[in-house]
Each structure stands twice: as C-alpha cells, then as structure tokens.
Amino acid sequence: MKGLLLLVFALRKYILLSYVFALLMGIESNAEEQFSVRRVYGFPAGERGIEQGVSACFAGAIGHRLLMAGGCNFPEVPAADGGKKRFYRGIYAARLVKDDSLNWKKVGELPTETAYGVSVTLENGVVCIGGCNASGALRTVVHIRMENEKAVIDAWPELPCTMDNMTGCRVGQYIYVGGGNCDGIPGSRVLRLDLQNVKHGWVHCTAFPGNPRVQPVSGAVDDIAFCIWGGFNPRTDKAPATLSLEGCAITTDDGTWSQEPIPTDKTGAPIFLGGAASVGLPTGETLVVGGVHRDIFLQALNNPQPDYLRHPAEWYCFNPDILLYDYGEWRLVGRSQVTARAGAALVWFENAVYLIGGELKPGIRSPHIFKLFSH
C-alpha cells in the first residue's frame, strides 16, 4: 500500500495546487503564528436546553448552509452531580452573514434523538449514520437534503449492526465507518457503502488490526485509503483499558491494513486522538483538533476517582494542537485552547473549517462555534 500512496503523492505534487493548502498549511517552524481561530456567533435554540451547547452532534454543509443535528448535554443538573444526559433530534441550518455570525433556523427533525454517530457531507446533502440515545444504540442511516428551506430526510440502508462512538468519512465513491461499539460491544469492525450503488447496502471490510477503538478519528488519503487513529478499549473484569496511539489504513481496492504514524507535539511526545474531531479538506488532507489527554484519560478509565468530574477544565489537559495529516506525515499547524475540546464537530464550509460544540471538560458542553483559518 505504501508504494501506491507514494506514487499518488508524487503525481499530486505536480498536478494539485490547492488554495486550501495555502489556507491551512504553515511551512515555517513557528506554526502557532500562522493559524488563527475566530469566534462565530450564533447557536441553535429550537429545543429546550440545546442553547447550552452539545457534543457528539451530526454536522455538515449543504450548499451555502451549515447544518447541525442531534447531539447531547446535561442541561439541568451537571454530570458531576448525577445529572441526566439529554439527547436532541432537531435539524438546524444556518447561513453565514457578513459580521461572521450564523442565523440558525430549525428546519426539521431526525427520526429520533441521536448523538455519537457519524456524519458525512456529500454534494447533495449530509448522511447521518448510527449513534445512540437514552434508549440504546441505533443502526439508522438517513440522508438530509434541503428543499424550500426545509430538511428532507431520505432513509438509506441501515447498518448491519447498531453502531455508536465510531468514526467515519468519505473515501472516493465510498463511505467508511469503523470502530466504536457494535451491537453494544467495543469492536474493530469496518463497513463501507458504495455511493454509486447505495441500494446494495453496507459491506463488511477486513477488521482493523489490534484492539477495538471506541471514539477514534479517521480521514481519507485522497480517494484511495481509509485511515483511522486513536480510540480506547474499555476496561473489563479481565483486562485494563488500553489506548491506541498509532494509526492504520486500508485502501479501497485492498483488504489489508498498513500502519500509519503517530502524531506528535512540538516536543516529540505522542498525541492521543481519542475524542478528537477530524474533517477532510478538498486537497485530500485531514485536519484534526482536540481530544482527551492520554495519561489523565487512561487513569480515569482504570482507576476512576469520585472527584474526577469536579476539576477545572484546565486540569484535564485536552489537546490544544491543530494537526494536518497528509500521505504518511503529520504536521503541527497551530495551537489553541479554543480547539482543546472533546466530542466537537468539524465542517469544511465556505472556504474555512468550522468547529461546533464539544465539551470543555467531561460533562460540560460549549455553545460556541469557531472558524479556523490562516493569516
């Protein structure tokens, strides 16, 4: 697979000059000075409690509209005090206005309240896949498009199992999903849907190697490979929890997996991407932000403490690094405490990347949206 990737990489160097590369890439040593994050005002308020912010929502873009749907939070009693998590089903669309604000309108509803699924933007809409709610995990797949300022929901083939807390993205003519919980069990399962033959339904691919990965991230290498990083395997009665740092990739025409490098910070220390957010860019690169801290999270999984949810946000040390992955190479292109959150959504929209919601610390969501762009 590496030979194929290197060949495509070499060809692309000659034929692809993308403005997105110039927008998001910093070649100089101090990447932190080459990337900016700006607050964009406005957040959905069409359901009681959602205005407090959500994590694990669906998000995408349809034409000149930013789309957001579902998500969850603790709107009444904090999680640290035993609050009940609330799931949402509203579909919201917004246009960007001149002063960098978003005018959100509720344009429809999902079939049921949903969070912790995967959303993929296509040319004609957004596909929302799986997830879960207070009643359990889902196998539902819907395609959302806009017609006369309203969301139109088309049912697509269901997943062969329930899936939640997985990852997924588009790779050429396919949508891939992998990892997460499959029928309630942490798994290594990978499925794909052929966009040229949607009615054929989801097909099983070779499972990725190593441990199951819950809450991983993924990206595409142009239109030829599905890559996955991060994720955790929960503790059981027989074994402690484990984290996956390394990545792995499978090509669309090959059932074997190859290893992909671990991202590192400016000191060379490995970055864990569990709970992070990723989005594919028009250049074929993958932008990744956020995620939980490797050591603090693993300690919480294996030795949970009663005061774990009561620390200030900075104690959790969520990842502030902004990363780009491209053909076997990670680059640090920025650093911001604004992007240091877990369970956020990233969307490529109107020539920039938009960061939506997420949690600032376990149980505390953010209603803020930010725009990521170069100087």
Q: What is the pLDDT of residues 39-81, one digit of tens each?
A: 999 999 999 999 999 999 999 999 999 999 999 999 999 999 9
Query: pLDDT value at position 327?
Result: 85
Return the residue matching tokens 């396919």: 174
How far does Cα 372 stand from its chain's mean position?
A: 15
Query: What pLDDT is attached to residue 20?
Result: 39
Q: In sequence order, which residues have a C-beta less than 8 Å from that of residue 65 and are 6 or more positions away?
A: 93, 94, 95, 146
pLDDT at 284 over 90: no
The structural domain count of the chain equals 1
d(CA 123, CA 357): 24
Which pLDDT band holds residue 375 (cuts at 50, 70, 90)? Answer: low
Report residue 290: phi and psi, to 5°: 75, -165
359 burial type by CB count under 10 A (0-12 exposed, 13-18 middle, 19+ buried): buried
Q: What is the pLDDT of residues 245-282, one digit of tens each?
A: 999 999 999 889 999 999 999 999 999 999 999 999 98
Name, in order, each residue with C-beta under 8 angstroms of 295's C-beta and a sequence gap of 6 or more: none
> Collapsing DSSP states into helix, strand and coil, what is residue 137?
strand
Query: Mean pLDDT across the stretch 29-34?
Result: 43
**CATH number of residue 165's parent domain:** 2.120.10.80
pLDDT reading at 13 higher than 60: no
CA 75 and chain centroid, separation: 23
| pLDDT (0 to 100) of residue 98 | 75
DSSP letter at 81 equals: G
pTM of the model: 0.91
Quick check: 183 pLDDT over 80?
Answer: yes
Instruction: Give CA–CA dist 343/214, Å, rounded.
Output: 12
| Cα–chain center distance at 27 | 25
Q: Which of 274, 284, 353, 354 is nearest to 319 (CA)?
A: 274
Read out DSSP for 208-242? PSSS--BS-EEEEETTTEEEEE--EE---SSS--E
Question: Which amino acid belongs to residue 160?
Answer: P
DSSP string, 294-356: HHHHHHHHHS--TTGGGS-GGGG----EEEEEETTEEEEEEE-GGG--BS-EEEEETTEEEEE
Give residue 7's pLDDT.
Answer: 44
Q: Which domain holds residue 244?
A: 2-374
Q: Are strands 185-186 and 167-171 parallel, antiparallel or unpaired?
A: unpaired
Convert the pLDDT of each residue in 91-150 to its tens digit. 999 998 877 899 999 999 999 999 999 999 999 999 999 999 999 999 999 999 999 999
- H helix count then E strand count, the chain: 3, 35
DSSP 321: E
Burial status of residue 296 (CB atoms within 10 A of its CB: 0-12, 13-18, 19 or more): middle
